[in-house]
Amino acid sequence: MHKIAVIGAGTWGIAIANLLALNGNVVTVYLRSEIEAKKMAKTRKHDKLPGLVLDEKVDFSNDLYSAIEDEDIIIFAVPSYAFREVAHKIVPMTKGNEYLVTLTKGMEDKTLYTMSEILQDELKKARKRNNKIVAISGPTHAEEVAKCMPTFAVSASKDIKAARFIQDVFMGHNFRVYTNTDIKGVEVCAAFKNIIGLASGVLVGLGYGDNIRAALLTRGMAEMMRVGKVLSCRKETFYGLAGIGDMIVTAISMSSRNFRCGRLIGEGYDVDKAIEKIGMVVEGANFIPKAMRIQRKYKLDLPITRSMYEIVINKKDPRYIFNLLMLRKKKSE
């Protein structure tokens, strides 16, 4: 049994908290709001996870220090835009022997750091050492994990012992975990696949068929691998659960915020209205400008990413943009 803190009470954080409690661990979920913490402690439910009744070993707190002070594992389940702020508060409180686990998918706006790199940076600033940093990723919709439906994931860390430790903690009858030492590659996949998910939704919203969606996933993977290559990631990572696995589920499932948002845009919704209608963070929309900075920095050919930039950021007509994509200069595969 381990004592675990989950920072953040979104759907993914709550689903994982319940999973870990069912595995026999004692889990404390940190929320900023005292009212929300008391509400969840009383109801044992989450508004966006209907049917889930949280295990009795899940507790709630709005006191950050008490939530993490005696924990073996601290799990970060906050949006990417808030990750640095949260890490900056927590890292100085740590003792140095905790496992720091990120569930967050994305990159930091200013630095283009992944979430594990932010943790390393904050550890350095706080003059602390901790190599036990792990990223959990893969095709893992919170709604299905909350229902104990079979799910596969990756535990990634530069330290294989840390990856294996977290593998053991998360592993269960309905949650199978693999290890990977290419944590950078796993996190790059987690960020970029959201753009492909958005694009897939746009195609469905436009009324297009399966042929172009299959092509989108294939060519989208080619773009992701170009990025991975210049960032010194292993190509095998992109063929695995964190890469093609997560990209597929993000691009086909109505449980995917990115897919649903893209579909609304394709159906004619204004981008801001589509995001508002989703009601939760749409990481793909937030990530597009960062992806374009990577494209420019490394002079990469990322036509799908560039097209989504025109649609989501410059708010160009999706049908017109995809027509331009189809009529690009001929080339070999």
Beta strand extents in the chain (DSSP E only): 3-7, 26-30, 58-61, 73-76, 99-102, 133-137, 151-156, 175-180
* 69, two tokens: 């002070």
Residue 109: how many other CB atoms lie within 10 Å: 15
Pairing assessment for the beta strands 73-76 and 58-61 based on DSSP bridges = unpaired
For residue 253, the Cα-to-chain-centroid distance in whole angstroms is 15
> Which of 115, 88, 145, 153 is CA-nearest to residue 287?
115
Rounded Cα gap, residues 38 and 243, in angstroms? 38
- What Rg value do the Cα atoms of the chain yield, rounded? 20
- Choose, from 57, 105, 132, 193, the residue flagged as catalytic: 193
Q: Is 57 a catalytic residue?
A: no
**From the centroid of its chain, how far is CA 35?**
27
CA distance 333 to 330: 10
Cα 138 from Cα 154, distance rounded (Å): 6
Q: How many residues does this entry show for the chain? A: 333
CA-angle at 94, arms to 89 and 97, nearest 5°: 150
* Rounded Cα–Cα distance for residues 323 and 327 (Å): 6
The counts of H helices and E strands in the chain are 16, 8
Burial of 102 (0-12, 13-18, 19+ CB in 10 A): buried
CA distance 77 to 89: 14
| Residues with active-site annotation | 193
